[in-house]
Structure 1
Amino acid sequence: MSHPHLLLFTVERIVCALPLSEVRQVVGMVALQPGQKGAPATLNLHGRHIPVYSARILLGLPDRSPLSTDSLVIVRRCAALRVDRVKGVQESPVPLPAPSPPGVLLTEDGTVLIHDLAALLAGGGEGVPLPPAAPAGAEVEAPPFDLERAGRLLQNRARALAQPEEEPHEAALSEILTFRLASREYAVETRYVREVFIIREITPVPGVPDFIAGICAVRGEIISVVDLRRVFSIPEEGLTDLNRVIVLTDGTMTFGILADYITDIGTTPTGDLSPVDPGSTPIGERYLLGVAEGSRFVLDAAAILADRGLVISEAGK
């Protein structure tokens, strides 16, 4: 039985998840309008003011002031959750239960799965199960270095988000997952993304091309992990983490690609992708669908998965 896909995010170093079907889009933190008499803050989403709930408060954790690095998960019920950081998309390890209070369950791997957002909002965080406290030395969110600059950034984002939506047109929408690799942003269509996870261990394989970083086990399945920097001769600029694996599949071929981190998930009209300027990227045209928002290279995951040059035979060739 297939399980639904989840959007993973963190709140005070706790990994949480929300059914992807509930998510409309994810945006960076914006300046919010204070709520009245204890009501939640609001944001102007294309002329409509929607409530913004702090995921920290909903989970019974101490709240803090928003940071420019926070994310807003806008859900289809015309509300938004303020979270620390979006991690990516992954298939749920368990079937979703029937809607019931408090709308949250704790999975075996310690993920806080919000399976019924309406029940969580109605309950105000009562009875929410949480994993044990994170160990000392875990990642701690730091305030922005320049508060004035961060404030201007949030105000600019808010003005952009408040702009009226363009009239819908016939162009099809593609849902894309954006990630950073070697100081540039790339994206793939989420229909080819099976899951995203943080690397725990990759086993090197002797005698394979240098673009194969190694193999790893995912839910009992052994998959190869590909370094796209090596495949496409992408210059290695600045510091890289390469601590995320995006598992791509078309139902026939499956392998992972390395990424520094996940930056966004949202939709883009396929007809609005711009052509790739010659010389702007070493990636061949056959592996690109176009450029979104001026600087985000949208990869053709179908072409990458179909490339027989990325398939390693038993002879290691």
Structure 2
Amino acid sequence: MAEEMKVIVFTLGKEEYGIEVDKVRTIERLTSITRVPKTPEFVKGVINLRGVVIPVIDLRGRFGLPESDLGENARIIIVAANDLEVGFIVDSANDVIDVMSDTIESPPEVVGGIRAKYLSGVAKVSETRLLILLNLSEVLNRGEIIQLEQLGE
């Protein structure tokens, strides 16, 4: 029997992506980000969220997508990855939907310009709507997690 998974839907450009709800701590409005020197280009810096310093990554930059002006719908999705909280800047975070496990297929080599290793699958939500599911452990690879942990200290 297919299992149901709750997913938070967010956008980067025209594409819709999903992160499992249980990996998401909170979704915040864009706030001022303190730049940190000697970090990869896609690491925008750190924010102070209720007394906790959280590294922030621009997902567009991480995936090699063109940067865009962040509108008022832009959000920072705070996720938990390997005991580390990290913020992802996204164009918008829209809603929470249920995805059935039997609607998820392996990702093709490249989806919307993003390599398959960053993706856990593609869910067919309806006849015309596909949702690209992120593989958080690859989006944040081990070396980067160590770097980001040092930012948070």
Tell me the TM-score normalized by structure 1: 0.42
Residue 181 of structure 1 contacts residue 259 of structure 1 at CA under 8 Å; is this kept in 2? Answer: yes
In the alignment, what sits opposite 1:310? 144
What amino acid maps onto 2:118 in structure 1?
Y
1:262 pairs with one of 93, 108, 126: 93
The residue correspondences of 1:1-317 to structure 2 (distance < 5 A) are: 170-236=1-67, 240-241=70-71, 243-250=74-81, 252-293=83-124, 294-305=129-140, 307-311=141-145, 312=147, 314=150
Cα offset, 1:197, TM superposition: 0.6
Describe the superposition over 1:112-164 as per-residue Cα deviations: whole angstroms up to 9, x where unpaired. Answer: xxxxxxxxxxxxxxxxxxxxxxxxxxxxxxxxxxxxxxxxxxxxxxxxxxxxx
Task: Report how many residues are paired.
Answer: 144
Residue 109 of structure 2 contacts residue 116 of structure 2 at CA under 8 Å; is this kept in 1? Answer: no
Tell me the TM-score normalized by structure 2: 0.81
Cα offset, 1:177, TM superposition: 0.2
Q: Which has the higher contact order (CA 8 A, sep 6+)?
A: 2
Moved over 6 A (4+): none
Describe the superposition over 1:65-123 as per-residue Cα deviations: whole angstroms up to 9, x where unpaired. Answer: xxxxxxxxxxxxxxxxxxxxxxxxxxxxxxxxxxxxxxxxxxxxxxxxxxxxxxxxxxx
Describe the superposition over 1:195-234 as per-residue Cα deviations: whole angstroms up to 9, x where unpaired. Answer: 0010221111122111111110111000100011111212
In 2, the alpha carbon distance for the partners of 1:295 and 1:235 equals: 21
In 1, the alpha carbon distance for the partners of 2:111 and 2:23 equals: 25
Q: Relative to total residues, which structure has the larger strand share, 1 or 2?
A: 2
Cα offset, 1:251, TM superposition: 5.6
In 1, the alpha carbon distance for the partners of 2:56 and 2:130 equals: 26
Residue 182 of structure 1 contacts residue 240 of structure 1 at CA under 8 Å; is this kept in 2? Answer: no
In 2, the alpha carbon distance for the partners of 1:280 and 1:287 equals: 10
- Tell me the SS of whatever aligns to 1:205: coil
What amino acid maps onto 1:304 in structure 2?
V
Residue 244 of structure 1 contacts residue 261 of structure 1 at CA under 8 Å; is this kept in 2? Answer: yes
| Alpha-carbon distance change, 309 to 281 in structure 1, aligned in 2, over 3 angstroms | farther
Choose 1 or 2 for highest CA Rg.
1
RMSD: 2.3
In 1, the alpha carbon distance for the partners of 2:135 and 2:62 equals: 14
In 1, the alpha carbon distance for the partners of 2:45 and 2:69 equals: 21
In 2, the alpha carbon distance for the partners of 1:271 and 1:309 equals: 33
In 2, the alpha carbon distance for the partners of 1:256 and 1:295 equals: 24
Residue 182 of structure 1 contacts residue 235 of structure 1 at CA under 8 Å; is this kept in 2? Answer: no
Describe the superposition over 1:141-194 as per-residue Cα deviations: whole angstroms up to 9, x where unpaired. Answer: xxxxxxxxxxxxxxxxxxxxxxxxxxxxx1111110000112321110011000
Cα offset, 1:239, TM superposition: 5.1
Residue 13 of structure 2 contacts residue 91 of structure 2 at CA under 8 Å; is this kept in 1? Answer: yes
Structure 1 unaligned spans of 5+: 1-169
In 2, the alpha carbon distance for the partners of 1:175 and 1:280 equals: 22
Residue 11 of structure 2 contacts residue 90 of structure 2 at CA under 8 Å; is this kept in 1? Answer: yes
